[in-house]
Structure 1
């Protein structure tokens, strides 16, 4: 027996499930009558704990509005199951903290970023119940900060720019702008930036360029990335110099690595490298000259500009 208005308002749909079709038509939405009905359990309590973790969660206080809960997610690739998880996070945060949730998704891949920022609608096509619209920061909308003056204005933004544009042809110029700024910064500012970018570049080709720039421009910096850059140089040198002597082999390995960085930067920037120029770079074993060429490769419009004022015998 129905015992209260509350019960009557929902129990009628148990006894007359096709009523939903009639009510929806009254409301201007067309749902077809059901062909079968299954009464489901009403207890939505989770039977067992289900571990769900957002990447970063921050409570942000502002002067103008009520506090918000900012969930930050790093997304490396398209994942059709992720929007449902994000919707769960938002609902859970609102229920638990009674504060408005916000979702920011960070991407390095342009296609993934475009996918992530598309609003996702949950519910029947006739009337979506929920719409998920995360904010997305990625290479498609983050600024290309290639000027040290701009990088100095907001070093945190420049750091994120370097991470999100890790696959961009401009990454060499971005990284050079950052190291230029870091030369004048104290260790408390410098060290976290170097480590963030190092982790953010991961195993991408730009990571080798970053290690080289840190070693060259910030030669007194001491950290795992600094030691790694030198260890790689030693390893390359030892591999090539077993028969030529340890010291000579190490220098050759470092020179080869720096030459590869120059060619990498030129390739990513779309600069044509004639065979003669490629040979000149790869056979050079003078680290000072290679360092000078590496600096020029970040802004040069042709290989002629890289070799400007250099004797051809170099």
Structure 2
């Protein structure tokens, strides 16, 4: 039950809105005198369901028996809406989980976003902030650049996050090469998630293709989805190349046979020219000419204007 003192201590400000100006003077806070005040509804219950989701939420237990909540947000660019969302997440989680401490970690891939995300978020007045949120930020400005294979092997998860946050680093090729080399001796159940997470983290950047090439070479024994996809692409590419080579070889052999049947002398230089040709269109043109040619010049001369 709400007590009378409770009611009096807040309702007096409804009756005398200007009172706060004088209270602030007593408390030593320099706040300009109000020109007006409006009494607003006090019910803070959501009028309609609003879906709010933090990217990842973990309850962390510690050796000191001081558990806390770790809320993790991946931030790809500056977003002014987060200045209201992030404080809400923290205050809501603190209330829902019985007052457990809440730590907000922001993970970024570029310096500008990391610098923006690291700024304290203040709710309140300039003279007296009511709530200040200090996000912890991990990004290219503070994550290590790992180009030593032994160092990467010591902590593959950290090496993976470091590679992802440095996706736009000019030396990302060396970073990814180090990570792929570190995975060579890792068990599949450890390597597979790292292969996939790194690919996802690189997105559609040029570095993503570098990673695919490295995985195809350095981790050829893995059975992860991306590794299988890369090998499938390689097999398809190899099949296509084989078919193309087979086609040109067949055309070259047919051309030599036609020339022989028609009694046209084929010099070593001409034979080499035919067998070394990798252009099916050119070989087809020579074949068509050989059908009616009376000399080598008729076959290998300039195009007839077809």
TM-score (norm: length of structure 2): 0.75
Whether the aligned pair in 2 keeps the contact of 1:83 and 1:132 (CA below 8 Å) is no
Q: How many residues align?
A: 244
1:226 Cα shift? 2.2
2:70 — aligned with what? 70
1:130 — aligned with what? 131
Question: What is the alpha-carbon distance in structure 2 between the residues aligned to residue 207 and residue 93 of structure 1?
Answer: 36
Question: What is the alpha-carbon distance in structure 2 between the residues aligned to residue 68 and residue 103 of structure 1?
Answer: 11
Question: What is the alpha-carbon distance in structure 1 between the residues aligned to residue 89 and residue 167 of structure 2?
Answer: 28
1:89-122 Cα offsets, whole Å, 9 max, x none, are 1000110102111101111111101110111211
CA change 1:130–1:202 in 2 (3 A) is same
2:232 corresponds to 1:212: no
1:64 Cα shift? 1.7
1:37 — aligned with what? 37
2:26 corresponds to 1:26: yes
| 5+ residue gaps, structure 1 | 250-314
1:124 Cα shift? 1.4
CA change 1:124–1:248 in 2 (3 A) is farther
1:187 Cα shift? 0.7
1:37 Cα shift? 1.8
Question: What is the alpha-carbon distance in structure 2 between the residues aligned to residue 65 and residue 123 of structure 1?
Answer: 33
Whether the aligned pair in 2 keeps the contact of 1:105 and 1:137 (CA below 8 Å) is yes
2:157 corresponds to 1:152: no
1:151-187 Cα offsets, whole Å, 9 max, x none, are 0111110011111001101211111111111111111
| 3-state secondary structure, aligned to 2:129 | coil
Question: What is the alpha-carbon distance in structure 1 between the residues aligned to residue 189 and residue 48 of structure 2?
Answer: 44
1:9 — aligned with what? 9
Whether the aligned pair in 2 keeps the contact of 1:237 and 1:246 (CA below 8 Å) is no
1:104 — aligned with what? 105
1:46-65 to structure 2, matched below 5 A, reads: 46-65=46-65
1:246 Cα shift? 3.2
| 3-state secondary structure, aligned to 1:189 | helix
Question: What is the alpha-carbon distance in structure 2 between the residues aligned to residue 182 and residue 216 of structure 1?
Answer: 12
Select the residue among 244, 247, 258 that pairs with 1:246.
244
CA change 1:65–1:248 in 2 (3 A) is farther
| 5+ residue gaps, structure 2 | 248-306
What is the root-mean-square deviation of aligned Cα atoms in Å?
Answer: 2.1
Question: What is the alpha-carbon distance in structure 2 between the residues aligned to residue 133 and residue 148 of structure 1?
Answer: 34
1:164 — aligned with what? 165
CA change 1:131–1:65 in 2 (3 A) is farther
Whether the aligned pair in 2 keeps the contact of 1:121 and 1:131 (CA below 8 Å) is yes
1:237 Cα shift? 7.8
Question: What is the alpha-carbon distance in structure 2 between the residues aligned to residue 80 and residue 235 of structure 1?
Answer: 46
Question: What is the alpha-carbon distance in structure 2 between the residues aligned to residue 227 and residue 190 of structure 1?
Answer: 14
| 3-state secondary structure, aligned to 2:53 | coil
| 3-state secondary structure, aligned to 1:176 | helix
